[in-house]
Chains A and B, each alone.
Chain A
């Protein structure tokens, strides 16, 4: 590839500049250090870490995941070290890396969401916040904030009031009209939306007649959900001006390009990191090669070009 033809992969999420449009989905990449031996973290457009709330949280009982055809269920339940624990235990690790850091946050109450946003607002190493209003596996708050548009607005407003960092809202897929939530996020001052979280789902063992997950239900992720995510991105892109980070079953550069064409500005690799930790880097390289071969100069040029 001739240097002249190298496509421009840079994207902007609010004031966050990513050198390429590929991050990792929250919850699939730990807090970063776990994959540092296997992946050159600085190659990624950003790292998105596992969801964090104000206080340490214990999460769900086991079994927490279950493999399905072309995907997996998870009901991990957002265990984590809490905001101060994350700052102490994990943030110093990132001083040795220049990759932008997106911290996913969640709360049991609106006040929790606001408080954790406020705590992280003072941390210079954190590049952006992604708000999880759509975890299907936590009884308190979680999914409810993602499926009731009034509660949703309350959370986004509260977080927006406490942070000057780029604010990304991660939307629930199981809503009647994704456009309604995408518009609400935009109106409340979010800088971007992530589409989509895992899809509420269930599997039952026919011998024991018990659910395969201790939490009974979980979130479906992996290639099985990609067409759902593509449709939601396509719909939302027609309704809002702020960028969309598309995710759901991305395994290849082609999958990522499909999200961009549907209307996403950036993408996140999730479950595929379990299958092959180098997926995100492979996606970046493959996108660049494909765009160069087609003479497409930038991600912006490709974004939302679906003929539909």
Chain B
């Protein structure tokens, strides 16, 4: 049963594998260049498992100790995960002891795959979701370790490979667009974030964008629900 779930889950994680191995390696190299041994990427990749915060954590580790600021900055950066939880409330119901790990591993990329991928009929849904999360987690840890230990050995220039994440979110956006009967929510997400980026700049646009998305989805609830009903 587990083997079948693993085999069904793997193809869905290939784009994440490419992106995580590359970004993880970049992260490991960044830590090495900042003077940290492989224990640091190993510990952080396993326990935090969240790329953008882990990159920031490196500069926090190099700065004077500031626990309160660290905690609040981490909360702000990770706040977008609140959305993923709300979106996965129903899907992650009734999965027993696998559930805490699924929630722990709910990164941007894992969320995207777990929210859209459907297991084949003969595959257990819980184990399918578990292996998606576990595979993603292991790609990230492997990438971080490889980058830290062997980063200087890579003979070719991989600049631009991180675009695979942008491409993945774009393709998943298109798939979700096909699945949704209404497209207002997709437009709200795209335009609201874009507007917020233009107004607040790239360092502080995400929270206002999330607030705006919530407000607009609440305001537009009637038309969205009406448009989403089966004809």
**Pairing of A with B:** no
